[in-house]
A and B are shown apart, each in its own frame.
Chain A
Amino acid sequence: NAGVTQTPKFRILKIGQSMTLQCTQDMNHNYMYWYRQDPGMGLKLIYYSVGAGITDKGEVPNGYNVSRSTTEDFPLRLELAAPSQTSVYFCASRDRESPLHFGNGTRLTVT
């Protein structure tokens, strides 16, 4: 059981580039989440999904897009990277009454 796997671990982007942060889980969890964490700050919810084909905006969705075509995968897309998107991104999943399981994070720098 790998749990929640995020790739890549680190990435440096230039302003205006795009990329997809990958997240996959092998626990058959229906609920999946993307958070960002700026230095010294708490976690901010970007998007979440309560099942395949269903996604919803969180607190800070601007500049991001998601899709949920399968139960296992929940990729996060940055279309036009900006310095303000420099952050650590965490993916998490859970089932109905279970707690959140987090991945190890992706550290993104936009310069």
Chain B
Amino acid sequence: DAKTTQPPSMDCAEGRAANLPCNHSTISGNEYVYWYRQIHSQGPQYIIHGLKNNETNEMASLIITEDRKSSTLILPHATLRDTAVYYCIVRVAENAGGTSYGKLTFGQGTILTVHP
């Protein structure tokens, strides 16, 4: 399964867009990119995912480069409540065979601090 690399920390001013990068240069064609965030010591919360196309939902936008080697999570108007650890992970699609498609590992993530 592809590994991901994220900057350890980032800052953002309240009301501005937060752009969180993720490198997944070894991603395979059948691997999705998922983003989660973890506030304080709660269980991580799903944000968004994508395969090839850019995606948008009520929480964020996901921009995936054409070669799929990197992606960016965009929080369009960051608030103080968006301060959290953000994790980017890749997940193999179901038809990969064996049980490896079930394995999901997390990296260290990016600590995003939104300041007033």
Contacts and interface: CB of A to CB of B under 8 A. Distances in A.
A66 to B, nearest CB: 13
Interface string A67-102: 000000000000000000000101010001101111
A33 B104 contact: yes
Given A90-B43, A96-B94, A97-B94, A50 B108 contact: no
Given A97-B94, A100-B36, A45 B103 contact: yes
A50 B102 contact: yes
Interface string B15-43: 00000000000000000001010000111
Residue of B42, B94, B101, B104 most packed against chain A (CB within 10 A): B104
Contacts of B87: 42-43
Interface of A is mostly: strand
Contact of A45 (B34, B45, B104, B108): B104
Nearest to B100: A56
A54 B100 CA distance: 12
Interface residues of A, number: 29
Q: Which 5 pairs, one residue from A and one from B, show the smallest C-beta to C-beta distance?
A: A102-B43, A99-B46, A50-B102, A43-B106, A42-B108
Interface residues of B, number: 22
A60 to B, nearest CB: 10
B49 interface: yes
Interface of B: 34, 36, 41-46, 49, 85, 87, 94, 99, 101-109
A104 B109 contact: no
Interface in A33-81: 33, 35, 37, 41-45, 48-50, 54, 56, 58-59
Given A45-B105, A58-B105, A99 B34 contact: yes
B106 A42 contact: yes
Interface string A16-37: 0000000000000001010101
Contacts of A88: 41
10 contacts: A33-B104, A42-B87, A42-B109, A44-B105, A45-B105, A48-B102, A54-B99, A92-B43, A100-B104, A103-B43
